[in-house]
């Protein structure tokens, strides 16, 4: 039986992040949701108001014997812009911030190292928040697996599909 670990990442719209990580070999689950805010059991409308403090995140369950936490972070830097504060493209607000929530000291240390190493790939400083993992709240059912269920929707075509293509071009060997 494979062991499983959990990563909690936010890089803008959770639809984008989830769509990529669902395709990574060794990832057994990618669930869109909310974390980092003060309101218990938030919903999409309240999080989108920007007043709850939550970020749109994805809880990634994975087999570390197949894909490492470091690999997940390498993918993270490619599929979003960690240098824009509270923004990813046209999505603006604190809910779209770049964030790595760590579950233990090893994840924190790996994330700190990954941030330092990734700095060289960007002209601007990385502004990704690094914090202990807070309570995770799964998003509503209609947000789960959004890209695969709605591939022809405009946002999926214009925003998510290019991120998937970038991932597949760069990390094709990690496709599950």
**Nearest-angstrom CA–CA distance, 64 and 136:** 21
Measured in whole angstroms, how far is the alpha carbon of residue 165 from the centre of its chain?
Answer: 16
Specify burial of residue 33 (Cβ count, 10 A radius: 0-12, 13-18, 19+): buried
Q: How far is CA 81 from CA 76, 131, 138, in A?
A: 9, 18, 24
Alpha carbons 168 and 64: distance in angstroms, whole number: 20
- The order of strands in the sheet holding 55-62 is 129-132, 98-102, 5-11, 55-62, 27-35, 136-138
| Structure-token pair, residue 68 | 């490492």
Residue 139 tokens, joined: 């998003």
Name the residues annotated as catalytic: 13
| Alpha carbon 154 to chain centroid, angstroms | 21
Question: In angstroms, rounded to a whole number, what is the distance separating the alpha carbons of residues 132 and 102?
Answer: 5
């Amino acid at each position: 039986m494979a062991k499983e670990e959990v990563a909690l990442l936010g890089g803008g719209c959770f639809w984008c992040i989830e769509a990529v990580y669902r395709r990574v070999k060794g990832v057994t689950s990618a669930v869109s949701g909310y974390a980092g805010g003060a309101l218990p059991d938030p919903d999409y409308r309240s999080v989108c108001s920007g007043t709850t403090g939550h970020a749109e995140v994805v809880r990634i369950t994975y087999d570390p014997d197949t894909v490492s936490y470091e690999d997940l972070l390498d993918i993270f830097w490619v599929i979003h812009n960690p240098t824009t504060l509270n923004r990813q493209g046209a999505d603006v607000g604190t809910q779209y911030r770049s964030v790595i929530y760590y579950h233990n000291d090893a994840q924190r240390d790996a994330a700190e190292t990954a941030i330092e190493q990734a700095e060289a790939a960007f002209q601007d400083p990385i502004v990704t928040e690094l914090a202990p993992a807070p309570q995770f709240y799964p998003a509503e059912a209609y947000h789960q697996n959004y890209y695969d269920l709605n591939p022809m929707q405009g946002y999926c075509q214009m925003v998510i599909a290019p991120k998937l293509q970038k991932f597949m071009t760069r990390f094709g060997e990690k496709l599950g």
